[in-house]
């Protein structure tokens, strides 16, 4: 892990730091951005900010800017009681509001996007997709709609569901 950057740790600051690191490393555009979980918000924000430098985006079970608003009221996992959203950094980094603003300003049209979606929902990681669909849990339905919306953000996109993976797809 690297040393923490300067406060406040906002999404635009993180995107600016990434851009500076890429430039210092003299990595030539275009880039394929890969963002897992909250980093999916940062990858999209980078593409909104520097669209001419992005050749494609891979979102790995990425967070969505509307996730908190919908899921906070319905989530059934015990993590909610221990500050799950602070742990993932969504509230801390204010990525929700920043991603909403950026998304409204610049579309991802023309940027290829692949969304890898876990087949095991974070609130019930041992349940199968069939179990979750049968349960009628509204938080699962919201989560699936967010994942679909990520795919819809580009006119050149596709979704792949990693049926045997939980949120940390790379770990499974």
pLDDT in tens, the chain (172 residues): 677 777 777 778 889 999 999 999 999 999 999 999 888 888 998 998 999 999 999 999 888 877 765 655 555 544 444 444 444 444 444 566 676 666 666 668 889 999 998 877 665 666 666 676 677 666 677 777 888 888 988 889 999 988 778 777 887 7
Tell me, yes or no, whether 3 lies in a domain.
no
Tell me, yes or no, whether 2 lies in a domain.
no
Instruction: For residue 139, give the 3-state DSSP assignment.
Output: helix
Structure tokens at 60: 């790995």
CATH assignment at residue 135: 3.40.50.1820
Q: How many domains is the chain partitioned into structurally?
A: 1
Backbone torsions φ then ψ of 113, nearest 5 degrees: -140, 130
CA distance 40 to 111: 15
Tell me, yes or no, whether 104 lies in a domain.
yes
What torsion, rounded to 10 degrees, do the Cα atoms 83, 87, 72, 147 define?
Answer: -160
Range of the domain at 156: 11-171
Instruction: For residue 155, give the 3-state DSSP assignment.
Output: coil
């Amino acid at each position: 892990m690297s040393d923490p950057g300067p406060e406040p740790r906002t999404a635009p600051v993180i995107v600016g730091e990434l851009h500076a690191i890429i430039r210092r490393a003299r990595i030539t555009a275009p880039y394929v951005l890969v963002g897992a979980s909250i980093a999916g918000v940062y990858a999209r924000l980078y593409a909104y900010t520097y669209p001419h430098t992005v050749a494609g985006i891979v979102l790995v079970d990425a967070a969505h800017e509307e996730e908190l608003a919908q899921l906070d009221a319905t989530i059934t996992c015990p993590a909610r009681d221990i500050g799950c959203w602070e742990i993932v950094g969504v509230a801390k980094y204010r990525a929700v509001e920043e991603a909403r603003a950026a998304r409204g300003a610049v579309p991802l049209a023309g940027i290829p996007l692949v969304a890898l979606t876990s087949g095991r929902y974070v609130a019930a990681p041992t349940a199968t997709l069939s179990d979750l669909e049968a349960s009628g849990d509204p938080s699962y339905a919201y989560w699936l709609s967010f994942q679909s919306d990520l795919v819809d953000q580009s006119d050149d996109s596709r979704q792949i569901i990693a049926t045997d993976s939980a949120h940390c797809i790379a770990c499974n």
